[in-house]
Amino acid sequence: MVAIYITLLQVFILSSIYIKMTSEDQDEKEKHSNWLNAHYDPVAGFYTFSTCITFADLNGDGDHKLVIADLGTGLYNMTIKVLKGTSIIQENTLLDLPTGVTSVYMDLAEPRTPGVVVASGSGLFVYKSMRPYYKYNLPLLPVLPEEAVLWDQANNENLDPLTLAEALDGLKKSHPTSSFTARTSHFLQIENDADARQFVDDHKHKPLKRETVITCVTTIKKSMAEDDAISCIVVGTEHKQVYIIDSEAFTPLQDYEIASVPVIVNVSGLFDVDFRMFAACRDGCVYVLKKDSLQSRVCIELDSSIVGMERIHKHLIFALADKTFSCYTTRGKQIWNLQLPADVLCTAVMDHRAKGFKAVLVGLDNSEVRVYREKNLVDIIKLNDRPQALCFGRYGREDSTLVAVLASGALQVMILKRTAEYADHSSHKGPPMSQKMKLNIPKKTQLFVDQTVRERENGTKMFQNFQHDLQLMRLSVAQTYLKGLQSSMTPLSDDPSMPLKLSATVRGIGPVFQMLLTIENTAAISLNDPKLATGLIVLFKYSDTIYSIKPLVLELPALAPEISYKFAVRIHCIASDRPAQDTITALIVKRGTKKPLVTANISMPVSEGVIVV
C-alpha cells in the first residue's frame, strides 16, 4: 500500500515537472522559430490555390523552380508563372482558369527535365522547357440523341429558336443538367430573340460537342518509384470520372466512374505494378479505385466537406470544413480526430527526407500554419496573412522550403532551419511521459506461482472456509458483546433511562498516580425533561495488596446531559518492593441497585519503585 502511495506521489511530482517544462518549451518556441523567413513579397499579386502550385527541376540542374498557375482576376489574365529564387523568370498566358498544375517526367531524354501539365477546362496543356508543347483534350462525352436532333433541325432552319428553346427546356425536365452540352446551357440563358437567332447562326457549322471539365489533376509513377521516373497523369472530371492518361502517347489508359465528383485524388503505388487511388468527392465520401477493378468503393464517409486530404504512409488525413482534423486507415477506420481552432484554408504534406518524417501542414484562417506529426502539434508557423495555398518541397537548392501564397496575393517563402527539431512528443498534450515509464516490478517467484496455482485449483473451498470462519468470528463477537451488555461490563451504558459514558486516564509515573475519570450523561437535551442522572456513585475494584485509592467511593453530583464531568482519584501503588502493575475496574452504580450501570477496566502503568534515599 505504501509503495503504491509513493509511486503515485512520484508520478504526481514528475507530471508537475513535466507541465512546467512544456510551458517553458512553448515560450522558447515563440522566441526561436524553426523557420527562416527567406522571402516576402507583399505585392506579388498571386491568386492561386494549393493544387495550382508545384516545384519542378525544369532545367535538370538541381535548381528547382516554383511553378504557379495564377487565376489572374478569376476571369481574365490567367497565367502560368515560373519563379527562380525571388524573381519570375517566365510567364505564359492561359486561355482558361487553371484547376491544377503538376510536373511530369514524360521521357527518358537527358538531361532529365519534367514537363509541366496545366489542367484547364477539359484539356491538359503540356509545357516543356516552359514552351507550349502539347494540348490534350479529354474524350468527348456522348450527346443526348434528342438534343442532337433538335440542334440538327435548328441548323437546317426547320426549327425557329423559340421552339428550340422550348423543346430543350422540355428535355431538361427529364434529364439531369450535367447531361447537356455547353451550347445548350448557353443558349437557354439567352433571353433576347435576336441574340438567340444570332447564336444559332454562329454555331451552325460547328459540331455539337459535350465536353467535361477537369476538377483535379495528379500523377502516378508508371513502373518505377524514383523521383524522376516516368509518370502517368491522373485526372478527375466534373462528370464523375477518373482517367489515367499516358504521358508519352497521351492516350487514356484506364477510366473509372464514381458516384460523385472527385475533387482531390491521391495515388499510391505504381501503375504497372499495383496502385490504389483515393478520390475525395464533393459528397464528403472517399472512394477507392484499384488497378484491377473498375468498380469504385466507398471507403470513408465524412461528416463535412473535405478541404484537404493528405496521405501519410498508410493513413489518410483529412481537414474538413467543420474544423475537424482526422486520420483514417485506408480501410476506413478512424484513428484519431482533433478540433482545429479555426477554419482550414489549405493543407500540404511536409516530407522531410533528411530527417525521415512526414508531417501535415494545415493552413488556418487565423494566419497560422500548424504542423502535425501524427496527431501531435509540433510547430505553429505565423504567417503575415491567411494562407491561400501552401507548397512544401525543394525550392532552389533548399530541400525544406515552404511557399505560401497569402490571401492578399503576397508570396512568403520560409526555410526550415537545419537545426530544427520536430520531436514526436513536443507540445503534446496528454498523459505525461513519466506515465509510460516502466516500473521496476520484480519477477514472479516460484512461491507466487505455486500460490496462484493453488488458489486457482481450490478457489471454491478456500472461499467456503473463509466464509465459515468469518461467520464463526462474527458469532463470537456478538456473544461477547451480548455478555458485556448483560453484565454492564462496558464503559458505555445503553440503559435508556440512564445513558452514561465513562473514560479514564492515568497520569503520573508512580508510585502515586492520579486517575482522571470523565463521566458524561449522553442523553439528548430536551427542554421539558432535564434528564438529570442522580444518585450515582463510583466504586473501584482493585487488588489492595498493590494499590490504595482515595477516596474509595466517589459520590457523583447530579449529571446534566452533554457536559463532561471530570473527577480526580488518587492512587498509590503500595507494592513498593517490586515494580507492580494491575488492572483497576471502575464501576458506576445507582444507589439501591445491585447491577453496575457502567464498567471500565483501567490497566495501570508500571509503577516506579520507591527510591529509598
Partner 1 sequence: MGLMDKLFGWMKSKKKTACILCIGLDNSGKTTIINHLKSPESSHQDVVPTVGFNVEKFMMSNLVFTVFDMSGQGRYRNLWEHYYKETNGIIFVVDSADKLRMAVAKDELDQLLKHPSVAAKRIPILFFANKMDVRDALSAVKCTKLLGLESLKEKPWHICASNATTGEGLNEGVGWLSEQLQTLRP
Q: Does 397 bind partner 1 (CB under 8 A)?
A: yes
- Measured from the CB atom, the residue of 63 and 582 that comes closer to partner 1 is 63
The piece of 34-42, 143-151, 373-381, 543-551 that touches partner 1 (CB under 8 A) is: 34-42
Exactly one of 160, 399, 582, 608 binds partner 1 (CB under 8 A); that residue is 399
Which residues 6+ apart lie within 8 Å of 27 measured at CB?
none
At closest approach, how far in Å is the CB of 118 from partner 1?
24
- Measured from the CB atom, the residue of 255 and 399 that comes closer to partner 1 is 399
Residue 247 carries which side chain, given as an amino acid letter? S
Q: Does 283 bind partner 1 (CB under 8 A)?
A: no
At closest approach, how far in Å is the CB of 75 from partner 1?
32
Angle made by CA atoms 488, 491, 497, in degrees to the nearest 5: 65
- Alpha-carbon distance 49 to 600, whole Å? 92
Cβ distance 370 to 379 under 8 Å? yes
The piece of 159-167, 300-308, 392-400, 451-459 that touches partner 1 (CB under 8 A) is: 392-400
- Alpha-carbon distance 73 to 54, whole Å? 20
Cβ distance 83 to 63 under 8 Å? no
Q: Does 41 bind partner 1 (CB under 8 A)?
A: no
Q: Does 393 bind partner 1 (CB under 8 A)?
A: no
At closest approach, how far in Å is the CB of 62 from partner 1?
8
Beta strands in 179-261 (DSSP E): 214-221, 231-237, 241-245, 252-257
Among residue numbers 92 through 121, which ones bind partner 1 (CB under 8 A)? none
Residue 146, H or E segment: helix 145-155
The piece of 84-92, 148-156, 385-393, 454-462 that touches partner 1 (CB under 8 A) is: 84-92
Binding mask of the shown chain, residues 334 to 373, with x at each position contacting partner 1 by CB under 8 A: --------------------x-------------------
Q: Does 87 bind partner 1 (CB under 8 A)?
A: yes
- Alpha-carbon distance 10 to 158, whole Å? 93
At closest approach, how far in Å is the CB of 374 from partner 1?
25
The piece of 32-40, 319-327, 453-461, 499-507 that touches partner 1 (CB under 8 A) is: 32-40
At closest approach, how far in Å is the CB of 232 from partner 1?
32
- Alpha-carbon distance 564 to 519, whole Å? 6
Which residues 6+ apart lie within 8 Å of 608 measured at CB?
509, 510, 511, 579
Q: How far is CA 534 from CA 504, 505, 560, 568, in A?
A: 20, 24, 9, 19
Q: Does 398 bind partner 1 (CB under 8 A)?
A: yes
- Alpha-carbon distance 230 to 224, whole Å? 7
C-alpha cell, 570: 488518587
The piece of 82-90, 113-121, 283-291, 599-607 that touches partner 1 (CB under 8 A) is: 82-90
Q: Does 39 bind partner 1 (CB under 8 A)?
A: yes
- Measured from the CB atom, the residue of 398 and 582 that comes closer to partner 1 is 398
If we measure between CA atoms, which residue out of 554, 561, 481 comes closest to residue 521? 561
- Alpha-carbon distance 286 to 311, whole Å? 12
Q: Does 417 bind partner 1 (CB under 8 A)?
A: yes
- Measured from the CB atom, the residue of 87 and 528 that comes closer to partner 1 is 87
- Measured from the CB atom, the residue of 281 and 410 that comes closer to partner 1 is 410
Cβ distance 115 to 104 under 8 Å? yes
- Measured from the CB atom, the residue of 40 and 134 that comes closer to partner 1 is 40
Exactly one of 7, 26, 37, 304 binds partner 1 (CB under 8 A); that residue is 37
Asked if the peptide bond before residue 491 counts as cis, ω within 30 degrees of 0, the response is no
- Measured from the CB atom, the residue of 419 and 446 that comes closer to partner 1 is 419
- Alpha-carbon distance 83 to 439, whole Å? 57
- Measured from the CB atom, the residue of 112 and 197 that comes closer to partner 1 is 112
Please state the length of the chain.
Answer: 613
The piece of 179-187, 366-374, 389-397, 422-430 that touches partner 1 (CB under 8 A) is: 389-397
- Measured from the CB atom, the residue of 398 and 608 that comes closer to partner 1 is 398
Cβ distance 93 to 79 under 8 Å? yes
At closest approach, how far in Å is the CB of 21 from partner 1?
24
Q: Does 418 bind partner 1 (CB under 8 A)?
A: yes
The piece of 138-146, 215-223, 267-275, 396-404 that touches partner 1 (CB under 8 A) is: 396-404
- Measured from the CB atom, the residue of 63 and 608 that comes closer to partner 1 is 63
Exactly one of 154, 264, 359, 415 binds partner 1 (CB under 8 A); that residue is 415
CA 578 to chain centre: 78
Which residues 6+ apart lie within 8 Å of 147 measured at CB?
168, 171, 180, 181, 184, 208
DSSP letter assigned to residue 269: E
SS3 label, residue 585: strand
Q: Does 60 bind partner 1 (CB under 8 A)?
A: no
Q: Does 38 bind partner 1 (CB under 8 A)?
A: yes
Residue 434 carries which side chain, given as an amino acid letter? S
Exactly one of 115, 396, 491, 510 binds partner 1 (CB under 8 A); that residue is 396
- Measured from the CB atom, the residue of 43 and 354 that comes closer to partner 1 is 354
Most distant CA pair in the chain, distance = 150
At closest approach, how far in Å is the CB of 274 from partner 1?
33
Count Cβ atoms within 10 A of the Cβ of residue 438 and give its class: 0-12 exposed, 13-18 middle, 19 or more buried. Answer: exposed
The piece of 182-190, 397-405, 494-502, 541-549 that touches partner 1 (CB under 8 A) is: 397-405
Q: Does 419 bind partner 1 (CB under 8 A)?
A: yes
The piece of 33-41, 269-277, 574-582, 593-601 that touches partner 1 (CB under 8 A) is: 33-41
Q: Does 495 bind partner 1 (CB under 8 A)?
A: no
- Measured from the CB atom, the residue of 410 and 554 that comes closer to partner 1 is 410
C-alpha cell, 538: 463510583
Q: 3-class secondary structure for 434-458?
A: HHHCCCCCCCCCHHHHHHHHHHHHC
If we measure between CA atoms, which residue out of 602, 600, 584 comes closest to residue 484? 600
SS3 label, residue 21: helix
Cβ distance 311 to 278 under 8 Å? yes
Interacting residue ranges for partner 1, rule: CB under 8 A: 36-39, 85-87, 354, 395-399, 401, 413, 415, 417-419
